[in-house]
Amino acid sequence: MADFDDVSNILVPHRKKVHVVIFLMTILMIPGALKALEPIDMESYDMESPELTAERIINEEFTTTEVILGFVVSVRDPAEVGSTPVPVPFIDDGTPDWSNFAQVDEIVPTGEKWQGITDIDGGILNLTVLKEIDSKHDIIRNHVLGDYMKPFINDVTELQTDGVMSLADIFRGFMANESVLTKPTMTLAGLEPPVTNWHDCGSIECLSFDDQNVTQAHIDLAAARMASANGSDFLRWLSLDRGFVAAEENAGIVGGPIGGSLNVDGTWANARPGPGRWSASASWLLVQLDRAELEKAGWTTVWKDAESETQIRNIEEGLVVGGYRLDGIDLLLHPPNYTSEYCLSLESPCSIEWSMMDLEGRLRSHDNNSLTLLVGQAVNVEVNRELQNSGGLIFAMGAVIIVLLYLSLRRWSDVGIVTVALGGALLWMQGMIGHAASIFSWLGVDLISRSQFSNLLPILVLALGIDDSLHALHRYKEERGLGKSATEAGTVTVSRVGRAIMLTSLTTMAAFSANLFSDIAALRSFGIEAALGVLAAFLLTGIWAPLVRVSFDEWLEKRGKNTTPESNHMFVNKERLQKIAIKSGTGKRPLLIAGICLIFALPAAWGMVQLEGDFKLMIS
């Protein structure tokens, strides 16, 4: 480590050349930074396991694998019905206006299991809600993704749909006497009669779902017959708070197990018979797409392989950045409305996630009695929106950092030097990550997999960079206060503080590099990215920042200005700190301090051993 004196003796006298090198290197880092700042791909969380490997092979080898979109349709609070226009007017460029949709907190609260809901007759089985769900089928069919739907079979009625399925299909098939529930079935023992019927409806006439005279009583009766005849299949379409609730208006029409819960063997527990109806707060609206046809038409299901949405434009409703729109301080979705012709004209395919979100927006534009949300898909779009939406916090954090830097350094020139060095360190980190990703990709090695972990890196670099620069500049001020010239103080600073910072940086880089042994691609990548970030912070804030201070002081001295720092400009009184340090180490105080630390350490250690590690992707 004595050789670090030689490094200092080289860098300080040749600091102008160092500045030129730093400037040129910063320019070279810009292309790499642009590559590193591409949208994050949630596939980086893939872990190495036989199950996931098998799934990847299936998706690669069997290109006809379907893509299932699951929309949760929930009952909207009756008090909020009609509070938003139907449909919500689109923005001038034809994009759904995400700022005026019905909000998630307007959903009827989920009830207890098997208790049903009473906010609205039937809940999700309300006739008006079912008709609204049914109307959304046409929205899906008329969407660009509707051309790539793939038929599938309804598990309740065993009828084929064109690729979109909901409770409306189930009721339509059952009430048209076309479902397997109302038809005889052939078994080994011969022809079995239907398990139920829709030709004898008692005191009401059996009507079809599309009949203009159909009422809520018809829906209640159909639901009760499907639930009793094939409960496990029909009830699976209802949320877990499903239940048979009392309804006196259905006396003589619909009866069932009020307040009961279904046992595994098909019997009912804690139920009392009486007039009522089935109800629940939510159900599914499913769409099945043909993956192979989508890929032929110019889409891809792999986010990192898709064309990046980076265009910035200004519209009347706000600034649009890629697939997002700035609405005040919030970043809202503004997904592009892709077409096959457009996607095929691009160098890279379009991400299907954007089209999924566009479809969700068009469905939500027609929400009134219900609220429609896409779940389990388009995770990358939502994650990147949340991350970019929090970008405003960076500016607030920057303002706080500048204030704290001034309180510590007490010279705006020092604050400016640290700020420039920190900005350069962030740029270098992203640049080195981007260039490393390009090099590894060229070599056929996939080591850089950007993820949400990557967004912790700026915080890491800022934390280390501020520490390094404060140590260096305070040591420089101390040496100047002893009467040394700018060059002499800079030489001592780089030699002494630079050596210490180098040691801490190397050990920190080694610690993060241990993530290379992780089975999680995102953690392996984070280890490399963090090591590069620590290196950038060391070079620019620990070494280059004091060199800039030396050059700036010499520039001021040539203009006849005093550059010796004033000793009374201290954030914390030096003598007070010395007094605290001396008194803390005398008498019984060391034992007292150790005891207090032990008191805090013991419960903390107990809490630490209670922690359990689990890696899950949570989607809200």
**pLDDT per residue over 215-252, tens digit each?**
999 999 999 999 988 656 899 999 999 999 999 999 98
Q: Which of 136-145, 186-195, 344-353, 432-441 has the lowest mean pLDDT?
A: 186-195
Mean pLDDT of 20-32: 91
pLDDT of residue 327: 86
The single-letter DSSP state of residue 102 is P
Distance, in Å, from the CA atom of 306 to the CA atom of 321, rounded to the nearest integer, reads: 17
What confidence tier does 619 reach under pLDDT thresholds 50, 70, 90? very low
pLDDT of residue 573: 66
Per-residue pLDDT tens over the stretch 106-115 = 999 988 899 9
Torsion angle (degrees, nearest 10) of CA 83, 85, 91, 95:
90
Q: Which tokens go with 606?
A: 């107990």
Whole-angstrom distance, CA of residue 362 vs CA of residue 136: 9
Ramachandran quadrant class, 153 (left: phi over 0; alpha: psi -120 to 50; beta: rest):
beta
CA distance 224 to 258: 12
> Would you state the structure tokens that stand for residue 350, as one six-digit string?
């379009």
Mean pLDDT calculated for residue range 549-575: 76
CA distance 533 to 508: 10
Q: What average pLDDT does the segment 449-466 reach?
A: 81
Out of 10-14, 99-103, 239-243, pick the least confident. Answer: 10-14
Q: Residue 484: what are its φ and ψ, rounded to 5°? A: -75, 155
Does residue 175 have a pLDDT over 80?
yes
Q: Are 509 and 531 in contact (CB under 8 A)?
A: yes
CA count, 13 A, side-chain hemisphere, 131: 13
Tens-place pLDDT, residues 291-336: 999 999 999 988 878 888 878 888 888 888 888 898 887 889 999 9
Residue 222 vs residue 566, higher pLDDT = 222
Q: Is 406 helix (H, G, I), strand (E, B) or coil?
A: helix
| Comparison of pLDDT for 378 and 470, the residue scoring more | 470
The CB density around residue 552, as the number of other CB atoms within 10 Å, is 16
What mean pLDDT do residues 145-173 have? 94
Tokens 């409806």 found at:
201
Upper half-sphere CA count for residue 70 (Cβ side, 13 Å): 9
Listed in sequence order, the residues at least 6 apart from 214 whose beta carbon sits closer than 8 Å to its beta carbon are: 127, 175, 207, 208
DSSP state of 119: S
Preceding peptide of 87 cis, ω within 30°: yes
CATH of domain 414-560: 1.20.1640.10
What is the residue-averaged pLDDT of the chain?
A: 86
pLDDT at 615: 47
Q: Report the DSSP pairing between strands 299-300 and 350-351.
A: parallel
Of 413, 420, 425, nearest to 549 (Cα)? 413
* CA angle (331 as vertex; 328, 334 as ends), nearest 5: 115
Break the chain into its structural domains and give their ranges: 414-560
Cα gap 258→141, rounded to integer Å = 39
